[in-house]
Amino acid sequence: MNQVKTVSLLSLLAGLLVGIGYMIGGSGGALIGLVIAAVTNFFSWYSSDKIALAAYQAQPIAPEQAPELYQMVKTLSDRAQLPMPKLYLVPTPALNAFATGRDPDHAAVAVTQGIVQTLSKDELEGVLAHELTHIQNRDTLTQAVAATVGGAISYIAQVMQFSLMFGGGRNREGGNPLGALAAIVLAPMAASVIQMAISRTREFEADAGAARLTGKPRALASALQRLEAMATQRPMAVNPSFSPLMIVNALPRQVMGGLFRTHPTTEQRIKNLLKVEQELLALNAQPKVAGI
């Protein structure tokens, strides 16, 4: 269900980009919007990992620098039947982590110095399993595409705002001035709402996948509680475009409404993790039949 919801939201986001082009410039504008969607998606596919890692000044970690961390990721990757991702360390005392990359063969996992030093082994394992599940589900690419298309919508709206201010586009064939005005005001907000909805959906899926991968849902639940509590004491400077990549919101509790949250509430995530725990307990309680 979450996969279907994500595809639907991505399609709606791309449709919004084409739609804003149509409202501004008719069929020609719609074509331009479609081209921009294709170009931005290709850019996201190829460069998302480099941009995200550079934004947080992440440094590569060699196996000899952090053997326990490296072995933990290697064990989880093997269990998930994934290639070993590249590991990076973000030099900040804040507690957070993220995964990036266009596919499992070009993936990277970055952890902050603070999260490695603070969490217990089981908690850190849960966080790493969460990030590996993002890679397995190709959420890293999904989020990059959503962020890039959303950014393109905001950029087009901003350009058209200046165009209308200086009298551009009044006589453009097929253009709709009222539609253009509505697009300028509403499209960026709608794009943000859709992008945040995609992010929240993928976080629930990654939590569940991590719980099944480690078999320890409560360890991840404990980690999420600690990460949220520490966000107030050690806030992390983040680019809003990359905030959905993080395992928890990098800033203290968001003041915006639920539609604009990059992540579900910690209470919601823990509730879902406890449901997964019950599923795992029920599965383990089933009698084993010889020969099957």
* Dihedral pair phi/psi, residue 156, rounded to 5°: -60, -40
Q: How far apart are CA 33 and CA 18, in angstroms?
A: 4
Could you tell me which of 111, 106, 82 has the C-alpha nearest to residue 96? Answer: 111
Taking residues 17-27, report their average pLDDT: 59
Taking residues 63-84, report their average pLDDT: 96
Residue 291 lies in a domain: no
The SS3 call for residue 215 is coil
Lowest-confidence range among 4-13, 158-167, 235-244?
4-13
| Whether the Cβ atoms of residue 137 and residue 209 lie closer than 8 Å to each other | yes
Among residues 64, 123, 125, 131, the one annotated as catalytic is: 131
What local confidence, expressed as pLDDT, does residue 101 receive? Answer: 86
Residue 142 lies in a domain: yes
- For residue 115, the tally of other CB atoms under 10 A from its CB is 25
The beta-strand segments (E) located in the chain are 59-60, 86-90, 97-101, 107-112
Q: Does pLDDT of 116 surpass 90?
A: yes
Lowest-confidence range among 68-77, 124-133, 154-163, 233-242?
154-163
Q: What is the domain extent for residue 278? A: 2-283
The SS3 call for residue 271 is helix
Residue 292 lies in a domain: no
Taking residues 23-27, report their average pLDDT: 57
Q: Does pLDDT of 36 surpass 90?
A: no
- 88 has which bridge partners? 60, 110
What is the token pair recorded at 86? 């590249």
What is the token pair recorded at 231? 């966000």
What is the token pair recorded at 195? 């992008």
Residue 290 lies in a domain: no
Could you tell me which of 242, 38, 212 has the C-alpha nearest to residue 136? Answer: 212
Annotated catalytic residue 173: no
Give the pairing type, strands 59-60 and 97-101: unpaired
Lowest-confidence range among 129-138, 204-213, 233-242, 249-258?
249-258
What is the token pair recorded at 176? 């709709």
Residue 143 lies in a domain: yes
What local confidence, expressed as pLDDT, does residue 63 receive? Answer: 92
Residue 288 lies in a domain: no
Lowest-confidence range among 18-22, 99-103, 219-223?
18-22
Q: How many domains, in total, are found in the chain?
A: 1
Average pLDDT of the chain to the nearest whole number: 77
Residue 71 lies in a domain: yes
Taking residues 1-7, report their average pLDDT: 48
Residue 128 lies in a domain: yes
Q: 13: buried, middle or exposed (CB in 10 Å: 19+, 13-18, 0-12)?
A: buried
Q: 232: buried, middle or exposed (CB in 10 Å: 19+, 13-18, 0-12)?
A: exposed
| Whether the Cβ atoms of residue 263 and residue 195 lie closer than 8 Å to each other | no
- pTM comes to 0.73
